[in-house]
Structure 1
Amino acid sequence: MLEAIAPDIWHMQHKFFANGLPVSSRMTVVRLRDGSLWLHSPVPISPAGRAELASLGSVKYIVAPNKTHHLFLSDWLVAFPQAELFGPPGLSAKRPDLKGMTELKPVAEPGWRQDLDQVFFDGIPFGNETVWFHQSSQTLILTDLCQHWQGDLPLAATLYARFTGVRKKLAVPRTVRWLVKNREATQASAKKILQWPFKRVIVAHNAIVEDDAYLAVKEAFACFD
């Protein structure tokens, strides 16, 4: 279920249908310096997945990175009641059932700032996405802001990826670009992210970028200029 990406960082994918479209989503797991686990964008939990996580460490943080990646949070909180839940601005109003959720801030939380830097990507309030940089593996962790749909896909998914401009390349989907409300804010956020020396990019949908990752993100962010 869990696949290693680099030391202390793993991922797990989940295939499902969204409005009739076959898609996949990715959860990223980071083991922090204290040995605890940080979960980004949880996918459905299973007994096997839970056992795998237990072999890696104790789940301490569960993170909803934007206002659209939140569907499975309740199940994870039941499975790991000791974990702290974090979510984007606006998610509490959308999910009032998620009691005790802490709103993500523009800067990293004390509990993970030794391992992860973060930037709130401003100017797209529909998603209110936060972006992370895993320092030790030089990995950028995105969710919906950039996507890269590759591999053998059903026809509907292939057509959608072509339409949104993310088929076989890393790009900001047209569906995200159409939601920009403040272009100057997006430019400022993109500039902050490009200050990180990342060499790998993890996105939720669907490919991990290992080759020329920094250049790929820089070219993708050119749409905000």
Structure 2
Amino acid sequence: MTSKLIPSDPESVMVIRDIAPNVTTLSVPFLRFGRIKIGGRATIVKLQSGSLAIFSPVALTPTVQSKLSSITPSPPTTYLIAPDMEHHIFLSSWATHYPRNHIIAPAGLKEKRLEQSKTDPSITPLDFKTEFTKENKYSLKITPEFDAEFSYEFVDAHPNKELVFVHHPSRTLIEADLIFNLPAVEQYSRVPDTDAASGWATKLFGGLQNTRGDAVWQKRMLWYAFGAKDRVGFGESMRRIGGWGFENLVPCHGETVLGTGKETFRKVAGWYLDEKK
């Protein structure tokens, strides 16, 4: 959790936005490899039961705590979701703040965090109540209250082991590294004198990971890079996701797509959905 990756004062640069009924995003700057501006984003969903679901937790600042209290003062359960092997660095602080938690993650993350805890004291042992594997992905259930509002797909064929969720009441797809929508304009909008698309590394990566036009370079990334080792499995996951009903697309990196999220997903995932390259 190096200062080269995350802002030193997230409170001053975070953008908090209600994007749909009971859905709030927390958008912050984030540098991949310490130089590529891809941004970061947590998504908060209030369930009908009053429980909270927190996807890809970011810094738990005083303003975030105040926002959470306004959403629900004392949630019966807080679901903390690490949607892949990378989006987990703030899990410990959220688990401490919400001791009645249910942590959801891909299998293997618990062991990764145990190894990282040897050099980073902020990463602590946690109780992972739901762990997705390739073997249990189609039979696993989380809890009745969670499953009443969400469908989910474990894209185990992705190198980062992606968990993708759709919140049916708000028709919102929530994902981490499956699809990017760069540049990260909102996520850098409160950083003084900063252009979200500036810098040669950011421009290069942004040229590959955007949804503009026919999004051919992101299609190629999904086909030739992320899905290369198991295109059959990757394609099965993309078709399952593509069959869900959603209108909003909330990525961790880049701009949120409201209203036309399904069209954006189908465009980027097109080679898998059409079963052709």
Asked if TM exceeds 0.5, the reply is yes
Contact 1:149/1:168 (<8 A) preserved: no
When residues 40 and 166 of structure 1 are mapped into structure 2, their CA distance, relative to the original with a 3 A threshold, is same
* Structure 2 counterpart SS, 1:94: helix
Return the alpha-carbon distance in structure 1 between the equivalents of residues 209 and 78 of structure 2. 36
When residues 115 and 211 of structure 1 are mapped into structure 2, their CA distance, relative to the original with a 3 A threshold, is closer
Of 90, 93, 103, 2:111 maps to: 93
Of 200, 209, 225, 2:248 maps to: 200
Return the alpha-carbon distance in structure 1 between the equivalents of residues 262 and 19 of structure 2. 17
Q: Could you list the per-position Cα deviations for residues 110-140 of structure 1 after superposition, in whole angstroms to 9, with x for gaps in the alignment?
A: 230111111111312x211111111011111
* Structure 2 counterpart SS, 1:149: coil
* TM-score of the pair, normalised by structure 2: 0.74
1:178 is matched with 225
* Structure 2 counterpart SS, 1:95: helix
2:177 is matched with 144
Of 200, 203, 212, 1:158 maps to: 203
Runs of 5+ consecutive residues of structure 1 not aligned to the other structure? none
Return the alpha-carbon distance in structure 2 between the equivalents of residues 45 and 165 of structure 1. 28
When residues 176 and 146 of structure 1 are mapped into structure 2, their CA distance, relative to the original with a 3 A threshold, is farther
1:173: how far off? 7.5
1:187 is matched with 235
* TM-score of the pair, normalised by structure 1: 0.89
Q: Could you list the per-position Cα deviations for residues 129-173 of structure 1 after superposition, in whole angstroms to 9, with x for gaps in the alignment?
A: 1111110111111111001013442223222211x2426466458
Runs of 5+ consecutive residues of structure 2 not aligned to the other structure? 1-14, 115-123, 186-195
Q: How many residues align?
A: 223
1:211: how far off? 4.4
Structure with the greater relative contact order (CA < 8 A, sep ≥ 6): 1 or 2?
Answer: 2
Higher-Rg member (1/2): 2
Of 145, 150, 157, 1:123 maps to: 157
2:7 is matched with none
Of 16, 28, 37, 1:14 maps to: 28
Contact 1:41/1:65 (<8 A) preserved: yes
CA RMSD between the two structures? 2.1
2:63 is matched with 48
Of 42, 56, 61, 1:27 maps to: 42
1:82: how far off? 2.0
Identity of aligned residues (%): 24
